[in-house]
Amino acid sequence: MNAPFPLDANVAAAVSAVIAAGRVAAARCWTPATSGNFSARIDDDRIAVTRSGVDKGALSAADILVQLLDQPLRPGSSAEAGLHLRLYRDAPEIGAIFHVHAPASSVISRAHLGDGAVRLQGWELQKALRGVTTHEATIETPIFANDQNIATLAERVAVRLAEPPSSAETRAPGYLLAGHGLYAWGRDPAEAWRHLEALETLFQQILTERSARP
C-alpha cells in the first residue's frame, strides 16, 4: 500500500504528534462526534493536519494530510484548517496547534463573549503557560464570535492577535470561539498540549468555583 505522504523523518514526527494528541483529547471527551482538529509543523513550508470528519480517538496516518502553507486547502481538509494555516503563517515560532470542543471552553466562551475575553488571575496552574511565572499575573484569552466563513474569522483572529494586550495583562497562547471551543498552540507539540490542557482545566476551575459559591 502506498503511503499517503512522503515518509521522511520530519513528516513522520509531525504525523505521530498529531495522532497522539488527537487520541488523548478524544479519551478526555474533548472531541465528540469527530469534532476538533490538530496540526503540527513539519518545516517552514508544511504542516501535518487532520482530515475532516475523522474520529480523533482512532486516528491513523491515512487521516492526516500534509498541507503546504502557501497553497489552498487540500481536498478532504476541514474548513477550519484555514485557521491553522493563518496562525502558522503569521507566527513562525508556532510548532503545533490543537483545537478541541471541550466542555469548559465551549461553555465559558459563550458566557464571556460580551467581554471579549476570559481573564485568569490567582490560579497556580497559570504558570503552565509559557512566560507566566506567578499566579498574580492576569492572563487574557481572547474570545471571538463563531463564524462559518473561515476566511473572515481567520482575519478577525489575526487582527486581534496582532494587537498587544494591555500593559497589565499577558495574552494566553490560545483563543476561544464562542460556543465552539479552544484553540491552543506552542513551540512544539508537547508545549501545545500543555497549554491546551492547562487552559481547559483553568476554565473548568472557574466554572466550578462559581457553582460552589454560597
**Is the dihedral angle over the CA atoms 35, 62, 21, 140 positive or is it negative?**
negative
Distance CA 175, CA 207 (A): 18
Q: Do the beta carbons of residue 188 and residue 156 sit within 8 Å? A: no
Which of 160, 165, 166, 197 has the alpha carbon at shortest distance from 30? 197
pLDDT for res 7 = 66
How far apart (Å, rounded) are the C-alpha atoms in residues 125 and 133? 10
CA distance 194 to 99: 13
Q: What confidence score (pLDDT) does residue 213 get?
A: 77
Tell me which residue has cell 470542543.
101
pLDDT at 5: 55
Strand partners, 171: 140
What cell numbers appear for 201 in the block? Answer: 482545566
d(CA 144, CA 118): 11
Cβ partners under 8 Å of residue 75, min gap 6: none
- In order of start, what are the domains of the chain with their CATH numbers? 9-212 (3.40.225.10)
Query: Tens-digit pLDDT profile for the chain (214 aa)?
Result: 244 555 699 999 999 999 999 999 999 999 999 999 999 999 999 999 999 999 999 999 999 999 999 999 999 999 899 999 999 999 999 999 999 999 999 999 999 999 999 999 999 999 999 999 999 999 999 999 999 999 999 999 999 999 999 989 999 999 999 999 999 999 999 999 999 999 999 999 999 999 987 7
Question: What's residue 1's pLDDT?
Answer: 29
pTM above 0.75, yes or no: yes
